[in-house]
Structure 1
Amino acid sequence: MIHDLGLTRRRGTTLLVPILSVLSVAFLVGCSSESDDREKPPRDPKPSASPSATSDQAKALEKQAQEALGIGEADDPGDLFVESGLERASDGIHTNSGLSSGRSYTLSVVCSGEGAGEGEEEVRLTVTAKRPTRQTVTCDSVPVRQRITDAPAQIRIDVDGLAGSSGTVGWRIDELAK
């Protein structure tokens, strides 16, 4: 006798084999049958972007920012290109830019993207030349321009994404012709 399973031996065989066969069939039938939960859609379906769709969207936002700033296009004949760049809004911009002291410049900043919040998504721009100036930039692919007159030798540019903002932030500095 096998006491711990409650089974008895008959002529060298165990009743375990037929019981396991019955349990296996019951398990397979139970796993393959349709349940009511499977027929109902999830309560809050959340669409998820595929990696290629996310990559395509990021590239499109980068292109919008570049076009808005004129990066890659012929410069105005009177202005001298100094530098430009693109970053993800979530990473922000944190750069020091060397300038020619006493000259005048135009700083252009654009945010192309969207966020999770209601209304317009935004980033906060802080430019520190002689003193810090702060401005909010909407992520609508429209550049914001600041004129920097009598520039110091270096300025600090910081752009931080506000809660839920995503997309691409770009900047461009041009020296104004004398």
Structure 2
Amino acid sequence: MALLGNPDMIHDLRLTRRCATLLVPILSVAFIVGCSSGSADRGKPSKDPKPSASPSPTSDRTKVLERRAEEALGIGEADDTGDRFVESGLERASDGIHTYSALSNGESYTLSVVCSGAGQVRLAVTVKRSVRQTVPCDNVPVRQRITNAPAQLKIDVDGLAGSSGIVGWRIDELTT
């Protein structure tokens, strides 16, 4: 009884209870976070991934097809026709192209589209009305002249069943 009557001992017990009351929730949260973060991070690449010894065949094939499409469209080369380059792009055939290109209203342009790979893609160009055509993935560009152009040209390309590869497009303003 003498110990319980000691004011220092009662004060120490209160501090111990306060510390325990604060530490239990903190330690519980730390335990839960520590246990759950390991399972959530499984399957994710590490923050410092090691480079692979050789690139995957898919990426090599994609790069080859991209280079073929760029060469077919003359992307990156000087234009010897005198036409002015406006814009271009490359996408996977499975993703397609869905873009609005800003043009100078009333001017004339050439749209070139090429598919490198296998299968076919469906090209739809909307000037005043939508014009559709099928483009084989044979690396041969399809060109369409656009006269009296609108302020925005809508271009949609979708891969047909079984198609794979790269679709490229290029717009040039015709000079007179």
Q: TM-score, normalised by structure 2?
A: 0.68
Alpha-carbon shift at residue 76 of structure 1 (Å): 2.6
Alpha-carbon shift at residue 77 of structure 1 (Å): 4.7
Name which of 77, 89, 92 aligns with 1:88. 92
Name which of 82, 101, 111 aligns with 1:107. 111
Structure 2 equivalent of residue 71 of structure 1: 75
Q: Which runs of 5+ in 2 are unaligned?
A: 1-53
Structure 1 equivalent of residue 162 of structure 2: 164
Amino acid at match of 2:65: L
Counterpart Cα distance in 2 of 1:76 and 1:160: 31
Structure 1 equivalent of residue 141 of structure 2: 143
Secondary structure, in 3 states, of the residue corresponding to 1:177? coil
Alpha-carbon shift at residue 104 of structure 1 (Å): 0.3
Secondary structure, in 3 states, of the residue corresponding to 2:88? strand
- The share of aligned pairs that are identical, in percent, is 77
Counterpart Cα distance in 1 of 2:82 and 2:175: 5
Name which of 133, 138, 141 aligns with 2:131. 133
Aligned residue pairs: how many?
123
Alpha-carbon shift at residue 57 of structure 1 (Å): 0.4
Secondary structure, in 3 states, of the residue corresponding to 1:163? coil
Q: Which runs of 5+ in 1 are unaligned?
A: 1-49, 115-120
Structure 2 equivalent of residue 124 of structure 1: 122
Alpha-carbon shift at residue 101 of structure 1 (Å): 0.6
Counterpart Cα distance in 1 of 2:104 and 2:74: 22
Distance change (3 Å), C-alpha of 1:77 and 1:146: closer
Alpha-carbon shift at residue 61 of structure 1 (Å): 0.3
The C-alpha deviation readout for 1:96-152, integer Å capped at 9, x for no partner, is 0000011000000000001xxxxxx10000000111100100000000000000101
CA RMSD of aligned residues (A): 1.2
Q: TM-score, normalised by structure 1?
A: 0.67
Structure 1 equivalent of residue 58 of structure 2: 54
Counterpart Cα distance in 2 of 1:93 and 1:168: 10
